[in-house]
């Protein structure tokens, strides 16, 4: 898991060190010359800051992998539905019919899809919530 740390005196925090959402003015610091872990204003992130700050990268990676798995379960079907709908709506009933030009055009259309953007937003929120749930569970290996 990528824990976002800042340096004491950073002009502006960017990402929460717990959930990776936009950070606020809050931070966790153990003192001395250690980096600051910026936090969002979510109470769960404030609560879990000390636990996350002191976790090993192995544990953090496990939590992140589990959160991705949980968030993917909620979003993979809508993503595939969006892609298949775009293919179908553009009269591509078979993947064999798609040329390089068609692929680039469809890729641009799909990138601009409000549905897909909403699904990605859902993924990020689900990921953020799953991270907090996993950190708070205290299940092994923690």
73 and 22 in a common domain? no
CB atoms within 10 A of CB 116: 19
Structural domain boundaries enclosing 46: 1-54
Per-residue confidence (pLDDT) for residue 142, from 0 to 100: 44
Per-residue confidence (pLDDT) for residue 139, from 0 to 100: 58
In a domain, 7, yes or no: yes
Average pLDDT across each block of 10 residues of the chain; the chain has 142 residues. List them in order. 52 77 85 84 90 87 84 81 78 73 77 78 82 72 47
Side-chain half-sphere of 39: how many Cα atoms within 13 Å?
18
In a domain, 80, yes or no: yes
The rounded distance, in Å, linking the Cα atoms of 29 and 131 is 21
In a domain, 142, yes or no: no
- Residues in Cβ contact with 40 at an 8 Å cutoff, skipping those fewer than 6 apart: 16, 18, 19, 21, 22, 23, 24, 26
pTM of the model: 0.58
In a domain, 123, yes or no: yes
Per-residue confidence (pLDDT) for residue 1, from 0 to 100: 44
Q: Does residue 14 contact residue 3 with C-beta atoms inside 8 Å? A: no
């Amino acid at each position: 898991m990528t824990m976002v740390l800042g340096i004491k005196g950073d002009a502006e925090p960017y990402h929460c060190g717990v959930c990776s959402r936009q950070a606020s003015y809050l931070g966790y610091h153990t003192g001395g010359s250690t980096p600051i872990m910026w936090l969002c204003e979510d109470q769960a992130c404030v609560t879990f800051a000390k636990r996350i700050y002191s976790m090993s990268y192995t544990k953090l990676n496990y939590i992140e992998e589990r959160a991705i798995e949980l968030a993917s379960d909620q979003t993979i079907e809508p993503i595939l539905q969006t892609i298949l709908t775009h293919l179908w709506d553009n009269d591509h009933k078979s993947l064999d019919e798609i040329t390089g030009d068609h692929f680039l055009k469809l890729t641009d259309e799909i990138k601009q899809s409000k549905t897909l953007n909403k699904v990605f937003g859902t993924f990020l929120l689900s990921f953020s919530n799953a991270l907090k749930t996993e950190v708070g569970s205290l299940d092994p290996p923690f």
